[in-house]
């Protein structure tokens, strides 16, 4: 590992100081610029907590109510700030409770460091109290992990962890540290990591690929851009917008790519995927050149791969070489960081408007609006819809809020209808689809960006998986706006049961508690809405509150999310009902 050393300016010697391993952990985090971390104490990590107590003026520890909540909070922090989120836990169950959040961060490319305590090194492998092989367990879902048994190994391990987590395609890293290493003293110095042998975070762009891509784009009659979170992770929003506007190409997004281009932008044609917009899904199989930028052709976007964009030449802008040709055969692969490659190709792109091609998108949008969108946002039927709740949030946030969603029907509705004027505004669990993500992730997002309005939107099912994090909101005084769209069902599963299992609603109906009473039990302002005439005022009151606020909205029990691409079907087979 090559390092950036910290030296005494007068003597040119590396500065060392004899301290304990636990203090070294805290000092290393501070050296990496960590100001907030999320966790839960326990025996094997107690020495570190003792040091955190001493360094409260430099680093703020947030006591979550569950270790999974710590990882999701760290994810929310990372996703809205672009920095590395940090979670900490003890050994055994404390460590294993991190796994869901780590797996979520891995598939969604979220930079996160998890530090776990471990039993003393002489007890490793003995099935000691609260011992578990967290390195082995986490190996499939981390970008890198390691176990530290000597205090002297701590600075290098943490420096390497931060470099790997945030470089190239980001991801989660776990460092497991034995308790004796935390007590042991050594001569501490911290050297930031700048390179790891054999690890190439950003591949070189192959000569000629930019020119080949530009030639296909300039010659296309019906080109289409699909973009993902890679645009956001590389901070390529301005370069991306410039490319879209110069080329005049209609651009559609995956849910993790949402907000890189404002929702209202004239060339933004909507969301792709199973519950995405009608036009971009349908016209994927009619375009002649498909330009994928910072996305991985997930099955929720492609549907049946044997029928996906077979008529199109495919250009793939991607930082991770393993994604090239993994799911969709690429004609031109442009490797590299999206900001760099989009900036480089811009001068090669001809100005265009593609007016007739855009009209095809508009025509299909008009069909979707009449059959679905109008009734979702401006319903005339008796029951409240999820869409009209999102619409009211748009009205009172002016599209500037960060929307943090859980997983389910409400997630798809929020992603479809929320207005995003700022980048890093759609924070959701994409690849893993983790119920319980929303509430703790919103805490992390609000703490990373206290100046922004952060709205957590959950269904009644996922909300109860991490409902205890209301205690974290209260203790931290995090002014998160918490919305639960309550249909007394596990809604997404119920929709599938209705459409594909003859309405056999097996184990999906929920008998729910008094959500308002629970929120008030955590000393939060709370309100429940059951009638349309009360909705606008309630949302206004929530959005104007300077403190945390809980709003339960009882929506129609059997409302469905459309359009819908049935599982395993072609995107051309998207259903409007």
Lowest mean pLDDT among 14-18, 183-187, 223-227: 14-18
Please say if the pLDDT value at position 13 is more than 90. no
Which of the four pLDDT bands, split at 50, 70 and 90, describes residue 427? Answer: very high
Please say if the pLDDT value at position 6 is more than 60. no
Please say if the pLDDT value at position 3 is more than 50. no
Total-model pTM: 0.95
Which of the four pLDDT bands, split at 50, 70 and 90, describes residue 258? Answer: very high
467 to 427, 436, 438, 441: CA distances (angstroms): 18, 8, 10, 12
Q: How many helices (H) and strands (E) does the chain have?
A: 24, 22
Span 314-340, mean pLDDT? 98
pLDDT at 15: 74
What CA–CA distance (Å, rounded) separates 452 from 435? 24
Please answer whether residues 319 and 335 qualify as being in contact, where contact means their C-beta atoms are separated by less than 8 angstroms: yes
pLDDT at 2: 41
β-strands 268-271, 289-293: how paired?
unpaired
Using DSSP, state whether 501 is helix, strand or coil: coil
Per-residue pLDDT tens digits for 185-201 = 999 999 999 999 999 99
| More confident call, 10 vs 47 | 47
Span 218-235, mean pLDDT? 98
446: closest CA among 465, 418, 431, 427?
A: 427
Per-residue pLDDT tens digits for 84-95 = 999 999 999 999
Span 546-553, mean pLDDT? 98
**Average pLDDT score over the chain:** 96
Span 134-159, mean pLDDT? 98
pLDDT at 463: 98
Q: Which two tokens stand for residue 335?
A: 């490797």
What CA–CA distance (Å, rounded) separates 114 from 350? 46
What CA–CA distance (Å, rounded) separates 64 from 326? 38
pLDDT at 443: 98
| 324-350 CB burial, b ≥16 within 10 A, e <16 | beeebebebbbbbbbbebbbebbeebe
> What is the set of active-site residues?
67, 129-130, 179, 492
pLDDT at 1: 44
What CA–CA distance (Å, rounded) separates 114 from 143? 12
Please say if the pLDDT value at position 14 is more than 80. no
Per-residue pLDDT tens digits for 104-143 = 999 999 999 999 999 999 999 999 999 999 999 999 999 9
Would you call 468 exposed, middle or buried from its count of C-beta atoms within 10 A (0-12, 13-18, 19+)? middle
Please say if the pLDDT value at position 355 is more than 50. yes
What CA–CA distance (Å, rounded) separates 436 from 431? 14
Percentage, residues of the chain above pLDDT 70 = 98
19: closest CA among 184, 191, 155, 257?
A: 184
438 to 2, 457, 484: CA distances (angstroms): 38, 7, 11
Please say if the pLDDT value at position 397 is more than 70. yes
416 to 126, 263, 273, 398, 412: CA distances (angstroms): 52, 10, 11, 16, 6
What CA–CA distance (Å, rounded) separates 456 from 428? 10
Which of the four pLDDT bands, split at 50, 70 and 90, describes residue 172? Answer: very high
pLDDT at 10: 58
Percentage, residues of the chain above pLDDT 90 = 97
Cβ neighbours around 156 below 10 Å, total: 17
Please say if the pLDDT value at position 4 is more than 60. no
Which of the four pLDDT bands, split at 50, 70 and 90, describes residue 11? Answer: low
301: closest CA among 311, 289, 290, 317?
A: 290
Please answer whether residues 421 and 399 qualify as being in contact, where contact means their C-beta atoms are separated by less than 8 angstroms: yes
pLDDT at 12: 57
Which of the four pLDDT bands, split at 50, 70 and 90, describes residue 169? Answer: very high
Please say if the pLDDT value at position 61 is more than 80. yes
Cβ neighbours around 360 below 10 Å, total: 18
pLDDT at 9: 56
Would you call 295 exposed, middle or buried from its count of C-beta atoms within 10 A (0-12, 13-18, 19+)? buried
């Amino acid at each position: 590992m090559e390092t950036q050393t910290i030296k005494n300016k007068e003597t040119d010697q590396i500065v060392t100081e004899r301290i304990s391993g636990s203090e070294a952990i805290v000092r290393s985090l501070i050296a990496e610029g960590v100001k907030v971390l999320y966790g839960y104490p326990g025996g094997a990590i107690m020495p570190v907590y003792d040091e955190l107590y001493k360094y409260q003026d430099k680093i703020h520890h947030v006591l979550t109510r569950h270790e999974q909540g710590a990882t999701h909070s760290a994810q929310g922090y990372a996703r809205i700030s672009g920095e590395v989120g940090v979670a900490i836990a003890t050994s055994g169950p404390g460590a294993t409770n991190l796994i869901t959040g780590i797996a979520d961060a891995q598939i969604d490319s979220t930079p996160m460091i998890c530090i776990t305590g471990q039993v003393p090194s002489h007890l490793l492998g003995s099935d000691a109290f609260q011992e578990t092989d967290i390195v082995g367990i986490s190996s499939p879902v981390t970008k890198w992990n390691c176990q530290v048994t000597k205090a002297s190994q701590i600075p290098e391990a943490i420096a390497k962890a931060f470099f790997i987590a945030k470089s190239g395609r980001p991801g989660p890293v776990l460092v497991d540290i034995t308790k004796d290493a935390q007590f042991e003293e050594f001569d501490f110095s911290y050297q930031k990591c700048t390179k790891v042998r054999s690890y190439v975070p950003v591949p070189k762009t192959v000569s000629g690929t930019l020119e080949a891509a530009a030639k296909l784009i300039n010659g296309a009659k019906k080109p289409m851009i699909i973009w993902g979170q890679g645009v956001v992770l590389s901070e390529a929003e301005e370069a991306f917008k410039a490319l879209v506007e110069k080329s005049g190409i209609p651009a559609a997004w995956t849910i993790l790519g949402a907000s890189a281009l404002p929702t209202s932008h004239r060339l933004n044609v909507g969301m792709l995927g199973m519950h995405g917009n009608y036009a971009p899904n349908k016209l994927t199989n009619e375009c002649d050149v498909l330009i994928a930028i910072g996305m991985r052709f997930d099955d929720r976007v492609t549907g049946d791969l044997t029928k996906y964009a077979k008529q199109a030449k495919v250009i793939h802008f991607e930082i991770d070489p393993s994604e090239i040709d993994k799911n969709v055969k690429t004609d031109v692969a442009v490797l590299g960081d999206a900001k760099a490659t989009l900036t480089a190709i811009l001068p090669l792109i001809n100005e265009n408007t593609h007016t007739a091609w855009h009209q095809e998108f508009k025509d299909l949008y008009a069909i979707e609006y009449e059959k679905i969108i109008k009734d979702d946002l401006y319903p005339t039927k008796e029951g409240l819809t999820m869409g009209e709740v999102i619409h009211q949030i748009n009205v009172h946030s002016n599209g500037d809020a960060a929307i943090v969603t859980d997983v389910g029907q409400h997630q798809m509705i929020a992603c479809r209808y929320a207005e995003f004027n700022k980048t890093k505004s759609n924070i959701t669990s994409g690849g893993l689809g983790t119920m319980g993500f929303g509430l703790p992730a919103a805490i992390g997002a609000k703490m990373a960006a206290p100046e922004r309005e952060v709205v957590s939107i959950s269904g009644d099912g996922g909300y109860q998986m991490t409902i205890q994090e209301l205690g974290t909101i209260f203790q931290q005084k995090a002014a998160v706006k918490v919305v639960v769209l309550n249909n007394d069902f596990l809604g997404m599963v119920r929709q599938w049961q209705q459409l594909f299992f003859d309405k056999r609603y097996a184990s999906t109906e929920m008998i729910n508690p008094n959500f308002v009473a629970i929120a008030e039990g955590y000393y939060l302002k709370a309100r429940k809405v059951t009638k349309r005439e009360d909705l606008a005022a309630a949302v206004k009151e929530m959005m104007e509150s300077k403190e945390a606020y809980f709003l339960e909205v009882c929506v129609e029990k059997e409302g469905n999310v459309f359009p819908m691409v049935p599982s395993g079907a072609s995107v051309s087979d998207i259903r409007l009902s």
